[in-house]
Structure 1
Amino acid sequence: MLNFPYLYFALLVANTIVDAIFRRKLYPPGPRKLPFIGNLFTMPAERQWVKFSKWAKQYGPIVHATVGSQHIVILNTPEVINDLFVQKSRILSDRLESYTSLGQAIRKLFHVAMNANTTKKYRDIQELESRVLLHDLITPLEPEDDAKGNRHWYSFIDRLLHKQNTSVVLTVTYGKRVPNSDKSGIVQAIHDTAENVARSSMPGVFLADHLPILRTLPDALAPWRLEVQRNSELELYGDFLEELRSDIKNCINRPECLVGDILKEQVEHGFEMGIPGKGLTENGELRDMLLTYTAGTLLEAGSDTTGAVMKTFILFMATHPHVLKKAQTEMDQIVGSERMPSFEDQDKLPLLDVLSQGSCKMSTSCTYWFHFLTVRPRDVVYKGWLDGGLVRYNDVPDQSRDLYAFGFGRRYCPGSHIAEASLFITLARLVWF
């Protein structure tokens, strides 16, 4: 009888030898790899983009590494990224889930619900949350300040921006604001969920990344499948869905929102308000679990990233007061002191627009891990990853206004119009304030 562990080990050895002898020249340059484990010991578990940045300077725009049997490709320049993810997006658009009819249906939904014209209906909530932010900035000292009354401004502003952007995206998705006190911990719960998703998507984090055979084990023997995490996500996002469904049935008004529109459309198409199960119905309606995760994706994507760009803007203004002075002069000339800036002023504030776009370019707000498949000569199939945090514009003053913070090609963020609107109104009012 075959001894499975020994057979697997023999196959792993054979694959490593074939890789070393015949396939090595097919891959881009990269750090030296040890037999069987590759770059396992040089791949940090956290802040991997720091190591990737060093490799980029040493090996060039495309870097190849391995962790066990997992191949990793790091892209480091806008030119390479544009070539692979924009020009060749048809063959490189698989990420996490394949670009199937299911993925296409969800993306079509996002594009319809979040195009430039449709998203204008969310401007009222964006203006409201920007006013709440200004109010919170001038409130009396809070209990968490130290005994001497010193306020730790960076963490304080970080918390306020996080709350503001979470409230915007929660209202857009479910028609529900984050309460001013947030005693229920909604902001922290969404933040923790987004952190878990980001952490689990990084290459080499789990043992199954190194030994793919482990992915065939039953759930009881595979704790890295994060069943507990999935259950907590379903509980959090499922509660939002049930609350909204209950309010609609009981004729309790909420602001117009994405999930609410979907539930009402289901009723118009002859369904109950909610369709149990996973995936899509035969006519393309989203079932409850898919709707829950789709809405959760919006919450995770929008709650942290926009606030991170705002923090970049604030830090830049704090270290470049002469630029802030110019922006304030422009604001005084166009808006004055009798009213706050509004969306109607956007076309009249070109300097603020440049600073807003520049904040996106200066520091990509998160690291993007784009999972894709590609076929090379001899049918070598490898997994690749993209680190968006390595894109730098400082040395290219005439660089185009493409915002790589929002992704690339077919994977461009469908919520970019909402994010840019939140950026403008918040940054404009901070400068005016």
Structure 2
Amino acid sequence: MELPPTVTICVLCTLLAAIYAAFKPRRGPLPPGPRGYPIIGNTLQMPREHAWVTFAQWAKDYGPIIHLSVLGSPLFVLNSPDVISELLEKRSAIYSDRPVIPMAGELIGFSEYMTLNRYGDRLRESRKLMLGALSPRSAPALNAIEEVKALELLPRLLHAPAQFRAHLRWLVASVVYQVTHGYRVESCEDPLVQSAERLNDLFGRLLEPGAFLVDSFPFLRHIPDWFPGAGFKAVAKREREALIKARDEPYDMVREQVIRGTATPSFVADLVERNSNPTPEEDNLYRSVATVFYLGGSDTSVSALESFFLIMLLYPEVQRKAQAELDCVLEPGQLPKFSDRSRLRYLSALLLEVHRWNPVVPISIPHCVTEDNVFQGYLIPKGSSVIANTWAILHNPDLYPDPFEVVPERYLKQDSPAKSEKINPDPRAFVFGYGRRACPGQMLAEDTLFIAAATILAMFDIAKALGPDGAPIEPKVQYDGGIICHPSPFDCRITPRSKEAERFMRNIAV
């Protein structure tokens, strides 16, 4: 059978690339890894889902840094905090680039956004803008928004508890759009939210290995649209237009409000007021950064909140301890505030376990090395992709005893001066990224999770759903295998903790 021209060309290029890679002189040996096949290397061995689990298993055989070859391209997986610290943080000057991802980055346009920015001035400017808006100086204003949104979450959970996942999505979207655009989100059916959520889902699928042939064979982006196998170009054109629309519609809305003098304080309104006549480059930067607030952080925050609910089902004794602490700290009829946070030590420890137990991003988006680098006698060649296996670190029993159990107390034993900092380290050092690619929205994400969890536990009990026979239904503890992991759908009972709590929530206006 005759092969399509596109496939034939790709096979020939794979052979040439593999031969070149095999005979290219190197400055030193590569780290160990599973033995691959001639030409294609480890391509067929690469796990399609839950790669972090497979990588953690391989680390037991090959050590904390694993070398893989995927169609001639080197990939290094880091499985220990020491190695990650040395390479991605101490050597961040050469480990902070991103590899070129043709479909997502160049053809659809995600390379203009912070997550896939190449390392350089645009990334630095983007981070500066975002960190400026989310600085500790801005915390009081941001916290006020989050407290109001957490309050408005309560009647939604009261009246439609079975829709708790949709309510969590509303909460995160409501906070983010209020902060970035001064925009009030009434429901998840809001067209702006629908558009952004669709792009979030698309971005996750685009980063899955082997999603599009052009990512393995970048030259294909230059083939004519009519060429056999070029259907990806029509997909890219459609999604690029959708991305531009999701970026521009809310931004232009705020810009018009600023001109009319009706804008609500927000990140975008502040940008427009400070620079009413930006250059085309500045205008593009402002729009992309405003979009990244949602595209970069909403799905991860929703995943963390979903894990919080799942943990409450599985560990009712943990829930009771957190509620007892809230009852002790709060006055009767009072809702938690950020000012109470320092006294809610058990709840804070519980949220650290939410981050650790099933990290929302189990393996990092690949970093790219910008020059040859030698580490412990091994060569990391220029242009290699490097990923951190966050899941492996957070489930290493040498770091976290009983890693598959939720144990908030593990973080409350730090008072002992003799305690080693290497046991039960703060998981936030790992879950928010590394080095110069660390998440600039960490403060907003942590604050939203805290106030939501505290408010929910102050007013509700969360328990397993009941079957037709009245027996509790055991939830299936399983997470999907995407870039951002969500727990599989599960049901639960969400009931007011008291008649007084129910009356209070019924009187909240939304």
TM-score band by shorter chain is: 0.7 to 0.9
SS of the residue aligned with 1:131?
helix
Paired residue type of 1:431: L
- 2:88 and 2:96 in contact (8 A); partners too: yes
Q: Could you tell me how far apart the structure 2 residues matched to 1:408 and 1:129 are?
A: 30
SS of the residue aligned with 1:117?
helix
Q: Could you tell me how far apart the structure 1 residues matched to 2:26 and 2:222 are?
A: 26
Match of 2:365 among 369, 383, 395: 369
Paired residue type of 2:164: I
Match of 1:34 among 33, 37, 59: 37
> Could you report, residue by residue, the CA deviation over 1:40-64 in whole angstroms, capped at 9, with x for unpaired residues?
2222444433433443344332122
Match of 1:249 among 245, 248, 259: 259
Q: Structure 2 vs 1, CA of residues 7 and 334 (structure 1 numbering), >3 Å: closer, same or farther? A: closer
Q: Structure 2 vs 1, CA of residues 40 and 87 (structure 1 numbering), >3 Å: closer, same or farther? A: same
Asked if 1:18 is matched to 2:23, the reply is yes
Choose 374-383 or 414-423, whichever is displaced more: 374-383
Q: Structure 2 vs 1, CA of residues 431 and 243 (structure 1 numbering), >3 Å: closer, same or farther? A: same
Match of 2:425 among 384, 400, 404: 400
SS of the residue aligned with 1:381?
coil
- Which residues of 2 match residues 286-305 of structure 1 at below 5 A? 286-287=282-283, 289-305=284-300
Q: Could you tell me how far apart the structure 2 residues matched to 1:263 and 1:127 are?
A: 27
In structure 2, the residue matched to 1:312 is 307
- 2:30 and 2:380 in contact (8 A); partners too: no
- 1:16 and 1:36 in contact (8 A); partners too: no
SS of the residue aligned with 1:290?
helix
Asked if 1:134 is matched to 2:154, the reply is yes
In structure 2, the residue matched to 1:389 is 391
Shift of 1:216: 4.6
Choose 31-40 or 243-252, whichever is displaced more: 31-40
Match of 2:72 among 69, 73, 82: 69
Q: How many residues align?
A: 399
> Could you report, residue by residue, the CA deviation over 1:328-356 in whole angstroms, capped at 9, with x for unpaired residues?
11111110331111111111111111111
Q: Could you tell me how far apart the structure 2 residues matched to 1:39 and 1:394 are?
A: 25
- 2:149 and 2:171 in contact (8 A); partners too: yes
SS of the residue aligned with 1:385?
strand
> Could you report, residue by residue, the CA deviation over 1:280-316 in whole angstroms, capped at 9, with x for unpaired residues?
3xxxxx22x3322222211112211112112222222
Q: Structure 2 vs 1, CA of residues 219 and 79 (structure 1 numbering), >3 Å: closer, same or farther? A: farther
Q: Could you tell me how far apart the structure 1 residues matched to 2:307 and 2:131 are?
A: 28
SS of the residue aligned with 1:352?
helix
Q: CA RMSD for the aligned pairs?
A: 2.7
Paired residue type of 2:426: R
Stretches of structure 1 that go unaligned for 5 or more consecutive residues are 142-150, 281-285
Paired residue type of 2:358: S
Q: Could you tell me how far apart the structure 1 residues matched to 2:317 and 2:52 are?
A: 32
Q: Structure 2 vs 1, CA of residues 66 and 214 (structure 1 numbering), >3 Å: closer, same or farther? A: farther
Paired residue type of 1:371: H
In structure 2, the residue matched to 1:356 is 351
Q: Could you tell me how far apart the structure 2 residues matched to 1:13 and 1:361 are?
A: 39
Identical positions, percent: 29
SS of the residue aligned with 2:40?
coil
Shift of 1:74: 1.4
Q: Could you tell me how far apart the structure 2 residues matched to 1:220 and 1:132 are?
A: 52
Shift of 1:218: 5.6
- 2:134 and 2:444 in contact (8 A); partners too: yes
Shift of 1:130: 0.9
SS of the residue aligned with 2:249?
helix
In structure 2, the residue matched to 1:175 is 182
- Which residues of 2 match residues 203-352 of structure 1 at below 5 A? 203-217=209-223, 224=232, 226-254=236-264, 256-267=265-276, 271=277, 275=279, 277=280, 280=281, 286-287=282-283, 289-352=284-347
Asked if 1:112 is matched to 2:132, the reply is yes
In structure 2, the residue matched to 1:99 is 119
- 1:247 and 1:253 in contact (8 A); partners too: yes
Q: Could you tell me how far apart the structure 2 residues matched to 1:331 and 1:70 are?
A: 52
Shift of 1:199: 2.4
In structure 2, the residue matched to 1:283 is none
> Could you report, residue by residue, the CA deviation over 1:130-156 in whole angstroms, capped at 9, with x for unpaired residues?
112211111057xxxxxxxxx4xxxx3
SS of the residue aligned with 2:384?
strand
In the superposition, the TM-score normalised over structure 2's length comes to: 0.72
Shift of 1:23: 5.3
Paired residue type of 2:356: K
- 2:304 and 2:354 in contact (8 A); partners too: yes
Shift of 1:175: 1.2
- 2:52 and 2:391 in contact (8 A); partners too: yes
Q: Could you tell me how far apart the structure 1 residues matched to 2:61 and 2:196 are?
A: 38
Match of 2:450 among 413, 424, 431: 424
Match of 2:202 among 190, 196, 208: 196
Q: Structure 2 vs 1, CA of residues 345 and 136 (structure 1 numbering), >3 Å: closer, same or farther? A: same
In the superposition, the TM-score normalised over structure 1's length comes to: 0.83
Paired residue type of 2:179: V
Q: Could you tell me how far apart the structure 1 residues matched to 2:14 and 2:318 are?
A: 61
